[in-house]
Structure 1
């Protein structure tokens, strides 16, 4: 029996992504699944909707192959998937900061790739405004892939099966930077995570209910955390200082805006799948949720740009911390993390 993911009527796409429940997930091939962008019923309309990038199975397959191909990097060692690992909810497990070519270490923690179609700006500082162009940062950064788009174009033109894959996806063997970025977007924008226990409770599906501890944690979360980590994405996409240091070693948002008021501010991260996205913060300084909660309870520094909501921190006793952790774990979407549609092989 097939289970259809809910789709907003406003989307131009009319065929929903189908999940096969009668087969083991490993037995369901990409060819058996119609790739389509879907909006969960508890989500608003997306910012990106594929109007100028027609989604197809061939385009998705090409984007996924590019995403996982380490040969695109300068030393052939790093792919997008190296820093965005599916088992870590598409971030980099146990790495404080991103690791790129020649074992180079970046300066910021790798953000998870999830629900990107609803974002209007990308990266910790919001320096990129278009999902389609966002891969260029990783491609050209000396501590990530360390190359340039024209070098990649030349490689793809000379490397099978890429010319045939581009023809299947876009109707021509022509390979250029725009089509490369569009195909990668056909993969990354489909990374929708919306089937956690939290989602099922909100949608009243499958009889899902919070335990007493989870419900208590949800109540606390709404009282103490939701002004920044707003539902359903568990971020309001704003940029704030959360008092990690009196003086930030990273200029943060001000690198983009050149405003002193933005110094040391970073985008509020999503908490979806947070159980799997350690380490935490823009510099990966915390390895556990306990460390994160202890910071907000008693470790907030009075930085010049400290967010007003954190002037007194977020006082939490031991029982409250355990309840909030119990709720946060309801944001884990096991189906998303294990979905072989998104896997390298």
Structure 2
């Protein structure tokens, strides 16, 4: 009897040991992303403690980003509206719906999302990248996917089960959002001519340097300081909206009060936020036309014309825009910068220095289902 009990105990120990090894094999493998470094001038950033940047989560997120399985009809992926060569925009004024119509907004660039505002989408309706990742998937006009159906499809894939196990341990909607957020956080653009200028590696042309100075200056006629007022809304190095509170959202004078869309007000319920939209990054701006939340401007020249003498006054118009004027006599009834054509072209020349060809062609950010990467 004692020999039988010993045999049963030994068998139990072997079974428990096997179970432990099996669980360890299923546990995620946390491998920090190799050679990761963030540009010092971009400032501080934060990553959720429960979703650290790992190689496994990035690889999974990259595959999910390009996989049309995430849509209800298996025809639309995140990359459909976020094309790498266009700095992860889609070149349209407004992105298309599944039924052939148009969405309310244009597709935003996905660059340097580790920094800048802590709310996402043009109207700020998502408070984290993880939350942002799942909203288009479930939206009936965007990707039209039921999350339960998606998880069932992912679980039916042996490849995805393995990738999820390595990254997070299991297939779930939460882990899908985490993986997509990790991929988007790693879309860092920091190799433009402007970045190289900041590092002392290149010099700007005279026109680009003139544009840079205008970009950074708020006009002050009292001291004859001419400026483009750009930095009041677009931070100096990231060129996106500021991080603090809701400083990254603004009414930039596109519409009168009677035609002003809700914007951020739809999220906060605060009438003072009517017409407020997220200030986008200007990184790679030369390849992300058309411009504004509704794509109303086709060229950078159109954008500069708007700020120069096309500002529409409304109750929530940013005072930083309202007070910015390069003309000593502002009695002409025009609200705007009133710069010279040469000054506007100089700013546009500077904006072109923000194009990062390495970012637009980085194989690590490309479609993993095609090519060698």
Normalised to the residue count of structure 2, the TM-score between the two structures is 0.79
Alignment of 1:281-296 (within 5 A): 281-296=292-307
2:105 to 84, 104, 108: 108
User: Which stretch of structure 1 is more off in the superposition, 302-311 or 271-280?
Assistant: 302-311
Instruction: Map 1:34-183 onto structure 2 (within 5 A).
Output: 35=34, 37-48=36-47, 51-93=49-91, 95-118=92-115, 119-170=117-168, 172=169, 174-183=170-179
After superposition, the Cα gap between the structure-2 partners of 1:114 and 1:259, relative to the gap in structure 1 and judged at 3 Å, is same
The answer as to whether partners of 1:69 and 1:79 remain within 8 angstroms in 2 is yes
The answer to whether the 8 Å contact 2:263/2:273 transfers is yes
The match for 2:287 is 276
CA contact (8 A) 1:108 1:283 kept: yes
Query: CA offset at residue 153 of structure 1?
Result: 0.7
Change (3 A) 1:85 1:326: same
Partner of 2:345: 322
Q: Which residue of 1 aligns with 2:252?
A: 242
Q: Secondary structure of the equivalent of 1:132?
A: helix
What's the C-alpha RMSD, in Å, of the aligned pairs?
1.8
1:225-236, aligned counterparts within 5 Å?
225-236=230-241
Query: Is 1:213 matched up with 2:211?
Result: no
Question: SS at 1:234's partner residue?
Answer: coil
Shift of 1:56: 2.8
- Deviation sequence 1:234-262 (CA, Å, 0-9, x none): 12342111111113452101000111111
Aligned position for 1:7: none
Partner Cα separation in structure 1 for residue 286 and residue 145 of structure 2: 33
Distance change (3 Å), C-alpha of 1:181 and 1:300 = same
**What do the CA deviations read for 1:19-72 (whole angstroms, capped 9, x no partner)?**
xxxxxxxxxxxxxxx545421122212132x53223332221111110011121
Which structure: larger Rg? 2
Q: CA deviation at 1:282?
A: 0.5
Structure 1's 272 and 251: CA in aligned 2 closer, same or farther, altered over 3 A? same
Aligned to 1:5: none
The one-character-per-residue Cα deviations of 1:302-325 (angstroms, maximum 9, x if unpaired) are 122111122231212111111001
Q: Which of 183, 193, 199 matches 1:197?
A: 193
1:222 aligns with 2:216: yes
Q: Given that residues 254 and 263 in structure 1 are in contact (C-alpha distance below 8 angstroms), is that contact kept between their aligned partners in structure 2?
A: yes
Aligned length: 309
What is aligned with 1:185?
181
Offset, 1:150: 1.9
Task: Give the equivalent residue in structure 2 for 1:26.
Answer: none
1:14 CA drift (Å): 11
Cα distance between partner residues in 2 of 1:321 and 1:105: 32
Structure with bigger helix share is 2
Gap change, CA 1:130 and 1:37, over 3 Å in 2: farther
- Unmatched tracts of structure 2, length 5 or more: 1-29, 218-228, 243-247, 323-334
Structure 1 alignment gaps of length 5 or more:
1-12, 16-33
For the residues of structure 1 that align with 2:34 and 2:267, how far apart are their CA atoms?
Answer: 35
Larger displacement relative to structure 2 (155-164 or 65-74): 155-164
Tell me if the contact between 1:153 and 1:175 (Cα under 8 Å) persists in the aligned partners.
Answer: yes
* Alpha-carbon distance in 1 for matches of 2:265, 2:146: 26
Query: Contact 1:77–1:101 at 8 Å: present in 2 too?
Result: no
TM-score norm. by structure 1 comes to: 0.85
Q: Distance in 2 between matches of 1:36 and 1:178?
A: 27
Q: Deviations over 1:213-250 (max 9, x none)?
A: 00000111111211111111112342111111113452
